[in-house]
Structure 1
Amino acid sequence: MTDITTPLPRPSLRLPVRGEPFERASLDAITGLDRVSSATACAKLHGLGVTRSFVEGPRPLQPGQRIVGSAITLQFMPQREDLASGLGQEYVERHTALWAVMETVQPGDVLVIQAYGSQFSGCIGDILARYFQRKGGVGIVVDGRIRDSGRIRDLGLPVWSTGVTPHYASQSELFPWAYDVPVAVGGALCLPGDLVVADDDGPVIIPQAMAGEVVDSARDHEEWEVFSRHRLDEGARLSDYYPLTPDTREEYESWRSARAFAR
């Protein structure tokens, strides 16, 4: 019979794992997306050939909030007692990727966390959320749960998660394993430096290299939707103005030119 008090042999793997250096999204890219909704970003990416950009599952802790920022990433992995577990209580976490990624935060960052939709791991709590916010982080997207939700809500820090739990991060089945690595969140891939747009419709991941195309396409889309709403409110037919027909497109171009001249 095995003696469970005997220390398990430990593989020669050093934690936390850190990925390769990366470049954050530019301020111009972030600013360009400032007025683009997640719905529009998702639709435009689909038209450009990226069909899985929506992070399914996480919902806003506080409705009405919105973020745009450059992604930094944190990856949880299943616990295995010979490598990493929460048996040492939360004090062990200060030596994990969860603490390490916090020291990399820069203004404009969005922390994107892979947690497999876990119902029992509180990936972020009040103290870490405060520290993240103080360093200039603009929001957090968690494919899993958070703890201290009331205090985080009081902070005003925008957070998207699948729910709440009283557990700390490594109390259950997961462990903060790696940072600055690709992560899978809600069925979408997020690379460090990708852009994140999140609002009441949920988070969307925009590949950094495609941000300019999305901005150009989305700007026109958002503008003609303003025009279409205006015409529909005046009693126009839906089929004429959503989407625009060739004739109403010409009408829109004239309307847009007149607005630009009036400015």
Structure 2
Amino acid sequence: MKYDNPEDIIQITPLWEGERFPNGRPKVADDILRRMRRITLEEAWSPLWRRGYDFQFQGDFQTVHSDMTIVGRAVTAVFVPERPDLNDALLRYGNEDEGRKGFFNQWVIDSLVEDDVVVADLFDKVYKGTLVGGNLMTAISTRTKRGGAVVWGGMRDVQQVEKITNVNVYHRGIDPTPIRQVTMTGMNVPCRIGSAICLPGDVVMATPVGVLFIPPHLAELVVVLAEKSQVRDIFGFERLEQGVYTTADIDGDWSTALWQDFLQWFRTSDKAADYQSLEWDQELAEARERESGGSAGEGGPRA
């Protein structure tokens, strides 16, 4: 076995057709990450759910900065309880054959680049399961700029880490013990976090309500559909406050007249300025088809 193996990463992410890092990890565009930071978790979750991705969300985390969301590209790590023969063989292989330095968790942090997020399965181990502390979070801060870590396990040095304000840690508990009696069996492999699954290169959206793992080949679609939902809500709230429409009008299939009202608002309102890359031809065509007696497409009120 090899750690961080390009052939394996490419094999498990066949639907990604865009740019990749040298190790084969999908590289979702910076602009998609930027746009992802302004949508809500539910807006991003809905398109995944509707496409059969049922196990992308996990809650039940503690955080260092309770009101801070992080978005970035996943670097995954899978740990198991220590078995001496396996542990010694893999530690020796990584240090001697692959030229890595230190312990398993240090290998992961040393591989990070800007906008990365460590996603580590430590089998919910907190005592001696502290993946990161003050030193490693300083390294994560320096390397990722605005990333962090999602750990199905523990962390330490919280009073030090609280002072690092550009990154965040989502974890299961705090303990002063250093990491011990664990062995990393995979790096940039499929990773289970609670009941969710994360692959290398997934877009990690870690929010105060939980963590969502977005497959890279769906990231742009998720952003577009989420932005459409978001800007329609802005319009809908405004028109409801004005008494122009009922909640049934806004929540149901929009009529052609309502779409025309929305599109006029969309072109002229300052509130829609950040959404001007969105196109609405399909939604308007579906509304016209419904009114002429045809069947609506997938778009509907919400995607």
Q: Confirm or deny a common fold (TM above 0.5).
A: yes
CA change 1:59–1:261 in 2 (3 A) is closer
Once the 2 structures are TM-superposed, how far is the Cα of residue 204 of structure 1 from its aligned partner?
0.6
What CA distance in whole angstroms lies between the structure 2 residues aligned with 1:238 and 1:211? 30
C-alpha separation in 1, matches of 2:218 and 2:104:
29
Distance in 2 (CA, whole Å) between partners of 1:218 and 1:201 is 17
User: Aligned equivalents of 1:232 and 1:116: distance in 2?
Assistant: 47
Q: Which runs of 5+ in 2 are unaligned?
A: 7-22, 89-94, 274-303
Distance 1:227 1:30, change over 3 A: same
Give how far 1:244 is off.
Answer: 4.4
Identity %: 23
| Residue among 42, 50, 72 paired with 1:39 | 42
Amino acid paired to 2:228: D
TM superposition shift of 1:105: 0.9
Q: TM-score, normalised by structure 2?
A: 0.70
**CA 181–260 in structure 1, closer or farther in 2 if over 3 Å, else same:** same
Matched, 1:161 2:146: no
* Closer, same or farther: CA 261–185 of 1 in aligned 2, 3 Å: closer
Aligned pair partner of 2:143 in 135, 152, 163: 135
DSSP 3-state at the match of 2:49: helix
Aligned to 1:112: 119
Change (3 A) 1:48 1:116: same
1:193 alignment partner, SS class:
coil
| Residues 1:227 and 2:258 are matched in the alignment | no
> How far did 1:96 drift?
2.9
Opposite residue 259 of structure 1, the aligned amino acid is: S
Work out whether residues 69 and 195 of structure 1, in 8 Å CA contact, stay in contact via their aligned partners in 2: yes
Q: TM-score of the superposition, structure 1-length normalised?
A: 0.80
Match of 2:262 among 252, 260, 263: 252
1:184 aligns with 2:192: yes
Aligned to 1:18, the other structure's residue is in SS state: coil
Residues 210-230 of structure 1 deviation map (CA, whole Å, 9 limit, x = unaligned): 111111111101111222333
Change (3 A) 1:174 1:229: farther
Q: 1:209 to 1:133 in 2, by over 3 A?
A: same
Alignment correspondent of 2:29: 26
Match of 2:132 among 124, 140, 145: 124
Cα-to-partner distance string for 1:103-124 (whole Å, 9 max, x where unaligned): 2110111111111222321111
1:54 deviates by 0.5
* Structure-2 residue corresponding to 1:7: none
Q: Tell me whether 62-71 or 49-58 shows the greater mean CA deviation.
A: 49-58
Inter-partner Cα distance in structure 1 for 2:260 and 2:252: 9
Aligned length: 240
Unaligned runs of 5+ in 1: 1-13, 86-91
Q: How many angstroms does 1:260 deviate by?
A: 6.4
Q: State the structure with bigger RCO (CA 8 A, min sep 6), 1 or 2.
A: 1
Q: Say which SS state the counterpart of residue 212 (structure 2) adopts.
A: strand
1:41-80 Cα offsets, whole Å, 9 max, x none, are 1112112321211123323321211121111112211111
Out of 67, 87, 102, the position equivalent to 1:95 is 102
Which of 189, 203, 212 is the aligned partner of 1:195?
A: 203
Q: Measured at CA, do residues 262 and 103 of structure 1 come closer, stay the same or move farther in structure 2, by a change above 3 Å? A: closer
Deviation at 1:207, TM superposition (A): 0.4
What is the Cα-based RMSD across aligned positions, in Å?
2.7
Structure 1 residues 130 and 43, CA, compared in 2 at 3 Å: closer, same or farther? same
Equivalent-residue separation in structure 1 for 2:109 and 2:271 (angstroms): 47
